[in-house]
Amino acid sequence: MEHRSGLKLIRKERDPDNYKAWRLFLTPKGKVFTKYLDNYSKQAFADFTKAKEDLKSHDDEDLG
């Protein structure tokens, strides 16, 4: 499966309690990537909220 290694953001280990199950863990690269995604989503949400407020302020204007 080395040819299908992917982005290497997680690693898997056999579950010692259940031999058919796997335990998944973030790699250090995966932890950095999730922090990046979290910061990106917060920024995108802030931009969306600001745009929504701007649209609402235009709705309150009299078009006349």
Taking the domains of the chain in order of start, what are their residue ranges? 2-53
pLDDT of residue 61: 59
Is-above-0.95 flag for pTM?
A: no
pLDDT of residue 62: 59
The rounded distance, in Å, linking the Cα atoms of 46 and 49 is 5
Residues of the chain by 3-state class (helix, strand, coil), percent to 5: 55, 15, 30
pLDDT of residue 53: 79
How do residues 2-16 score in pLDDT, each as one tens digit?
Answer: 677 788 899 999 999
Bridge-based pairing of strands 10-14 and 22-26 is antiparallel
How do residues 16-64 score in pLDDT, each as one tens digit?
Answer: 999 999 999 999 999 999 999 888 888 888 887 887 777 777 666 555 4
